[in-house]
Amino acid sequence: MTRHLDLEGIENFRDFGGYETVCGRGLKRGQLYRSANHSGATPADLEVLKALGISVIVDLRRPLERGREPSRRWDGFSGQVVENHEEHVNEDWSVLLKQAETLDGDWFRKDSLNFYHNLPYEARHIDLFSRYFRALGETDGAILVHCAAGKDRTGMICALTHHLAGVHPHDVVTDYLATNIEGRIQSRVRFLDSYIQDLTGLKIDDQALRVAVSVHESYLDRAFRRIVDTSGSIDGYLQDVLGIDAVLRSRIEARLLG
């Protein structure tokens, strides 16, 4: 089953529906999409997005990121855009890169683990995740969620969606790791190399960059362990932190399950 859609200027674009679920109804296709940012979207890409019937776009990036790489929309787009306007200079990745003593694969791996540990309980992510799930239960049409690279923040929100829908844990991880498709890794390495040099003036070797553009099961594990340790369970987190009560959960299931 092909999930990736090869677009000209949008990386890591794919349908994250279509999985079997514990209840047996299955997760619908054509309702849930994920990707990297849309700043490089070509006119042809925008026509594809328009044809998919996307009515909600959730941009998980910070204002600074959105300013650096503004999103492109198709003519006539009138859908809902979910964004968060909080910004903290200390969160700027460029600052962390410049402060690092050694930028190797281990640094990027530890940076990712730390990011995933903090992500579920950061106020801006709670706000964005909560509004995303409300949009799932309250709007029609397909929904597209993205961040900068479409792998970490996006990967987390997609994994939570899969859990809520009852997707089997193995498939949750499989979808998360689909970011690592080998045919696209090298192009992401080239992009990140140029991006970091423009941002910081630093030159990083390809092996370290490959770690930076990839995801690992341990990252998602770290976030889920933090959730279980803090909220008791993923379901407890969805309810008590993100505010997904029984009514909203029922609406989401009715919309997404076959």
Nearest CA-CA partner of 220 in 146, 166, 165, 160: 160
Residue 2, pLDDT > 90, answer no
How far is residue 107's CA from residue 92's CA, in Å, rounded to a whole number?
16
* Structure tokens that stand for 43 in this block: 């006119």
- Residue 144: per-residue pLDDT: 98
H-helix or E-strand spanning residue 82: strand 80-82
How wide is the angle at C-alpha 160 spanned by C-alphas 4 and 183, nearest 5°? 25
- Residue 22: per-residue pLDDT: 96
H-helix or E-strand spanning residue 57: strand 54-59
> Could you list the residue range(s) of the whole structural domain that residue 222 is in?
14-256
In-domain check, residue 8: no
Q: Express as a percent the part of the chain with pLDDT over 90.
A: 79
- Residue 242: per-residue pLDDT: 98
In-domain check, residue 138: yes
| Long-range Cβ pairs for the range 67-76 (8 Å, 24+) | 69/37, 69/39, 69/40, 69/148, 70/39, 71/37, 71/38, 71/39, 71/41, 72/38, 72/39, 72/40, 72/41, 72/46, 73/38, 73/46, 74/46, 74/47, 74/49, 74/50, 75/46, 76/50
In-domain check, residue 175: yes
- Residue 185: per-residue pLDDT: 84
In-domain check, residue 22: yes
In-domain check, residue 177: yes
Average pLDDT over residues 9-33: 96
Mean pLDDT of the chain: 93
- Residue 88: per-residue pLDDT: 61
Tally of domains within the chain = 1
CATH of the domain at 111: 3.90.190.10
Q: Express as a percent the part of the chain with pLDDT over 70.
A: 97
* Structure tokens that stand for 102 in this block: 């050694």
pLDDT tens figures, 222-233? 999 999 999 999
**Amino acid at residue number 133:** F
pLDDT tens figures, 196-247? 888 788 889 999 999 999 999 999 999 999 999 999 999 999 999 999 999 9
How far is residue 1's CA from residue 19's CA, in Å, rounded to a whole number?
10
In-domain check, residue 154: yes
- Residue 211: per-residue pLDDT: 94
In-domain check, residue 191: yes
pLDDT tens figures, 115-158? 999 999 999 999 999 999 999 999 989 999 999 999 999 999 99
In-domain check, residue 228: yes
Cα 176 to Cα 25, 56, 181, 247: the distances in Å are 21, 21, 11, 27
